[in-house]
Amino acid sequence: MYVVNTETIPGMRIVAVKGLVQGNTVRAKNVGRDIAAGFKNLVGGELKGYTELLTEARRQAVERMLSQAQELGANAVVNVRFSTSAVSQGAAELYAYGTAVVAETEA
């Protein structure tokens, strides 16, 4: 499955558009991560616990989006975007979306 954030895939042409596909996940912060983040805010630097949380959330959202694309018979998703939003205090949604298409190699 090709996944790109552009409207086209170099060397391929889109022969069918299957529609919008999306995947999302809602993740809550962890008390242990919050305490570690509080200490890290005092000295500065990367909040690795949150980086790992967001990396896992992004991976899961993309997997769900690709699963939906496969169900539609697509072999690529173009124009992929990510969005985040606060669901409640301490919880956030990560949303991935794009257009499922069938692409063929150009002759």
Per-residue pLDDT of the chain (107 residues; tens, 9 = 90+): 999 999 999 999 999 999 999 999 998 866 555 555 555 555 667 777 778 888 899 999 999 999 999 999 999 999 999 999 888 777 889 999 999 999 999 97
- HEC states along 1-23? CEECCCCCCCCEEEEEEEEEEEE
Over its C-alpha atoms, the chain yields an Rg (Å, rounded) of 18
Q: At 55, which amino acid appears?
A: T
Domains of the chain: 2-105 (3.30.110.70)
Q: What is the pTM of this model?
A: 0.83
